[in-house]
Amino acid sequence: MNWYYTWAEASEAFRELAQRHGEVERIPHGGESPDGDRLTLDVALLGPSDAERCVIVSSGLHGVEGVAGSAIQRAWLAGAHESSTRIVMIHLLNPFGFAWQRRVDGDNIDLNRNFLLVDEKFAGSPPGWPDVVPWLVPRRPAGRWDPLLPKALTAAARMGRKAVFQAISGGQYETPEGLFYGGSGPATLQEVLREGLPRWTSGARHVLHLDIHTGLGRSGGLQLLLPRREGTQEADELVRRFGPDARPALEKPRHYRVQGGLGSWCEELLPEKSYTLCGAEFGTVSALEVIAALHQENRAWFHGHREDSSSVWARTRLAHAFAPTSPVWRERVLKRGLHLIDQATETR
């Protein structure tokens, strides 16, 4: 299975495979690629539309993270068989981020911090955000020497490691050029999903949504990020379906708290259905390396020039932080990703 870092290659390969098994929708979204191509979000619809159960598999909510998610989706489609389950494959939710090798959309919005509920406001920041802004959001181009590491270690010694990570990653709505910016209002992706999700899942009573990400956890390992509903029928079903991968995710709190995540918004959008989102996180490099790569790419985007060697280096570093080129890593992630989709789509 090829691993593509360009939007044109990944999307064309996805559509070609998906058309063998079902219907494909192309939704213009995200503007243009660096090559001037009109970007689209592509959706493959497989299986009976009136099936009681629907499985959604989405990739690329965080743009460049979609390299692995796209490969997993295409590998599964290459070996797909008929199923009594409705299967919705959403390929590259954030085509802009994928095409431009960014984690965010065209407005620098981290889309998994943008899906606020009706009673939540696009305002504020986590405790500690003002303390990390001076060194996390510098106003100069990327460079090979980066003071982020010593400054982050100093902050961790003063505030505590978890507090620093929460301040950086929890989602902030005050600094538009900063990392993990949730936006000042709903991103355009919300419009796409508000129209599409009810239609794609119209016949189903039960919806299980796998949203594929990379960059968190042990390299090559899989973490399921599940709603913490211990003791419920839903939790028991997740453990039966996903086995030992599900139980730790239900019992342990996640690494940090996130505001504006996709799952709760989708659940609110589909109130008549039993909807569960499972985040599938594949580890790559250390958390500090991920933050450093995001930091350098952000500097290059806002304060550099695209074709400068330092900007090219920063983009490449970010892409490889979320999709390493190691054959061993790729084989492990593909194997675990395919097994996860098989577990999700299996009829019980």
Quick one: which of 3, 43, 11, 33 has its CA closest to 195?
43
* pLDDT recorded at residue 233: 74
* pLDDT recorded at residue 84: 92
**187-205 pLDDT, tens digit each:** 999 999 999 999 999 999 9
Query: pLDDT-based confidence at 153, cuts 50/70/90?
Result: confident
The DSSP line for 187-246 is -HHHHHHHHHHHHHTTT-SEEEEEEEEEEEEEET-EEEE----TTSHHHHHHHHHHGGGH
**296-314 pLDDT, tens digit each:** 999 999 999 999 999 999 9
How much is the average pLDDT of 112-136?
94
Query: pLDDT-based confidence at 27, cuts 50/70/90?
Result: very high
∠ CA 323-212-315, rounded to 5°: 30
Which residues, 6 or more positions from 335, have their beta carbon under 8 angstroms from its beta carbon? none
* pLDDT recorded at residue 280: 96
* pLDDT recorded at residue 248: 59
* pLDDT recorded at residue 289: 94
Instruction: Give the count of alpha carbons within 13 A of 231, CB side only.
Output: 0
Query: pLDDT-based confidence at 236, cuts 50/70/90?
Result: confident
Query: Is residue 232 scored above 90 in pLDDT?
Result: no
Query: Is residue 234 scored above 80 in pLDDT?
Result: no
Query: Is residue 69 scored above 80 in pLDDT?
Result: yes
Which domains does the chain show, CATH number per domain?
7-115+182-284+323-345 (3.40.630.10), 129-169+288-320 (no CATH)
* pLDDT recorded at residue 187: 99
* pLDDT recorded at residue 129: 94
Query: Is residue 321 scored above 70 in pLDDT?
Result: yes
How much is the average pLDDT of 308-325?
96
Output the six-digit token pair for 195: 């129209």
Query: pLDDT-based confidence at 270, cuts 50/70/90?
Result: very high
Quick one: which of 316, 311, 284, 286 has its CA closest to 298?
311
**85-109 pLDDT, tens digit each:** 999 999 999 999 999 999 999 999 9
Query: How much is the mean pLDDT over the chain?
Result: 92
How much is the average pLDDT of 241-257?
66
